[in-house]
Amino acid sequence: MELAIKKTETFTSTRNACKLCSPLGASLVFKGIEGCIPMIHGSQGCATYIRRYMISHYKEPVDIASSNFSEETTIYGGNKNFCTGIDNVRHMYNPAVIGIASTCLSETIGEDIPRLIREYAQLHEGEQIPVFIHASTPSYQGSHMDGFHETVLSAVASLANEGATSKQINIFSGFISPADIRYIKEICDDFGVEYMVFPDYSDTLDNPHWKDYQLIPEGGTPVAQIQNAANAIASIEFGTIMNKLVSTSKSSVAHTAGEWLEKHHSVPNTRMPLPIGIEASDVFFKTLETISGIPTPRHHARERGRLVDAYVDGHKYVFGKRAIVFGEEDMVLSMVAFLHEIGIETVLAGSGGESNSLKKEIDALTSGLYPNMIVMNNLDFETINEMVDELKPDIFIGNSKGYYIARRLKKPIVRIGFPIHDRFGAQRLHHIGYRGTQELFDRIVNALIEYKQEHSPVGYKYI
């Protein structure tokens, strides 16, 4: 595949980005804290664009406040807007927590948000004020995933404190769907363990129908659980790719919440790729078994058994097919490993993420079996578009922004991850564990069957 790379011009500009900006990741994490309203310290547009983007995916109200910078604020500093903003948010939403994400603008003019928070707290001494969590998320640093990780780390580092020992297992589940989070909670409930999933936007971004408008939807990880994270018996962290180039605000040694808790509070951390596929899911279940001393409940063992059965039933539809996978780095990594497990060859794996470690991680997880696979960080969709013809893919797997490329090639696309703006039910898709893998496997097999059926001169009613 050397050829394909050589033929593609390199561009200084980003053309159809395969990433989003950092405050979006922060907003997602804040939506996963109970009683929390996110506030973006920057221009009005940042909050509105991020809201629109999330609303189109989750089909839920997503209220994100903005400190609404003006010309004056930018010159003289955002102190006044910050305080007025907090006052107004408190007045309207009465939140337990306010999550503040910075932006390229507030970072560039050198806003010291921790100081603004301290000053606000001093000003309101004696009052019951919300818990403040601050994440440093300038969009000129990394992608939305870096904002996501930074915010998880920030929340834990600022809230966790040592107290009585606890049986809590911390699960930092990364950027997965609300349905995935509900499934993790179900697994932990079935194991009968005490746990925290953080961030937990399984309710806040996938609410039931309401009679009355909920300004702050119920659900989210309780602050008490995040505080208790320091006393947990163990942490499990999904996602192994961290952008070490992005400096975090909390610690120069720890890049993730799990790492931080291990270093500062001696909570043992197990980091693993997103559990997609049987092998990766086994790692997750085994880890739960080891930590809890409880065997995998029969219900889940049977789900695994059915998945193996499905792999067998479907293996010929998928074997030898060529896939193009794109999206967030951790999602891409785990998808490639899963496809490897079922006999699909990934010919291009790409992400707008900037860790530069995607190739190394993929090689490690697939035992270096695909020397020809094109693996690219800092990738945009137009670069994929210009490479795909020669790669002769059978299927695309990624978010809906890659649809236009699949459409041009007239090949199927299985939509996973975020954003899914052109299909219904993104919040209910499963990706992880035996259940998620089953769902993905069914969707991939069916996409390939449908393609074969539609392109067959014979209108088979059975395939």
Partner 1 sequence: MNAILKDRNSQIVRAGADTKTIACNKPSLAGAVSQRACVFCGSRVVLYPIADALHLIHGPIGCAAYTWDIRGAMSSGPEIHRMSFSTDLHEKDVVFGGEKKLEAALLELIDKYQPKAAFVYSTCIVGVIGDDIESICKKVQALKQIPVIPVHAPGFQGTKKDGYRAACEALEVLVGTGNRPAQEFSINILGDFNLAGELWILIDYYKRMGIHINATITGDGRVEDVANAHKAQLNVVQCSGSMMYLAKQMKEKYGIPFMKVSYFGIEDMSDALYEVATFFKSDDMLTKAKEIVRFEFARLMPELVKYKQALQGKKAAIYVGGSFKAISLIKALRLIGVQTVVVGSQTGTADEYEIIKQLCDEGTIIVDDSNPAELSAFVKETKADIFIGGVKERPIAYKIGLGFCDHNHERKEALAGYEGMLNFAKEIYATAMSPVWKFTK
Tell which positions 92-151 bind partner 1, by CB under 8 A.
Answer: 92-94, 103-105, 108-109, 138-141, 143
Using the contact rule CB under 8 A, the part of the chain among 89-97, 169-177, 254-262, 337-345 near partner 1 is: 89-97
Q: Toward partner 1, which CB reaches closer, 166 or 378?
A: 378
Kindly calculate the radius of gyration of the chain based on its CA atoms and give it in whole angstroms. Answer: 22
The answer to whether residue 66 forms part of the interface with partner 1 (CB under 8 A) is yes
Q: Toward partner 1, which CB reaches closer, 275 or 398?
A: 398
Sites for partner 1 among residues 381-420 (CB under 8 A): 382, 401
Residues 26, 28, 33, 65: which binds partner 1 (CB under 8 A)? Answer: 65
Residues 26, 28, 86, 335: which binds partner 1 (CB under 8 A)? Answer: 86
**Cα distance between the two ends of the chain:** 33
Using the contact rule CB under 8 A, the part of the chain among 62-70, 123-131, 255-263, 443-451 near partner 1 is: 62-70
The answer to whether residue 446 forms part of the interface with partner 1 (CB under 8 A) is no
402: CB partners within 8 A, 6+ apart = 18, 324, 326, 381, 384, 396, 413
The answer to whether residue 271 forms part of the interface with partner 1 (CB under 8 A) is no
Structure tokens at 104: 């390229």
283: CB partners within 8 A, 6+ apart = 272, 275
Sites for partner 1 among residues 7-36 (CB under 8 A): 9, 11-17, 19-24
Q: Toward partner 1, which CB reaches closer, 16 or 453?
A: 16
The answer to whether residue 210 forms part of the interface with partner 1 (CB under 8 A) is yes
Using the contact rule CB under 8 A, the part of the chain among 87-95, 122-130, 306-314, 410-418 near partner 1 is: 87-95
Q: Which of 80, 176, 171, 85 is nearest to 132 (CA)?
A: 85
12, 35, 68, 302, 316 from 352: Cα distances, Å = 14, 32, 28, 37, 32
- Tell me the C-alpha distance between 345 and 395, whole Å: 10
As measured in angstroms, the least distance from the Cβ of 328 to partner 1 is 13
Residues 122, 126, 192, 209: which binds partner 1 (CB under 8 A)? Answer: 209
As measured in angstroms, the least distance from the Cβ of 89 to partner 1 is 4
As measured in angstroms, the least distance from the Cβ of 16 to partner 1 is 5
Task: Look up tokens 């967030």; give the residue.
Answer: 328
Contact 285, 305 (CB under 8 A): no
Residue 149, H or E segment: helix 144-159
Q: Toward partner 1, which CB reaches closer, 23 or 433?
A: 23
Residues 1, 4, 8, 56: which binds partner 1 (CB under 8 A)? Answer: 56
Q: Toward partner 1, which CB reaches closer, 127 or 312?
A: 127
Using the contact rule CB under 8 A, the part of the chain among 76-84, 169-177, 227-235, 324-332 near partner 1 is: 76-84
The answer to whether residue 331 forms part of the interface with partner 1 (CB under 8 A) is no
Q: Which of 433, 402, 435, 405 is nearest to 416 (CA)?
A: 402
57, 238, 327, 365, 425 from 416: Cα distances, Å = 11, 17, 9, 20, 11
Contact 234, 265 (CB under 8 A): no
Sites for partner 1 among residues 334-363 (CB under 8 A): 352
Total of residues contacting partner 1 (CB under 8 A): 78
Q: What secondary structure letter does DSSP report for 139?
A: T
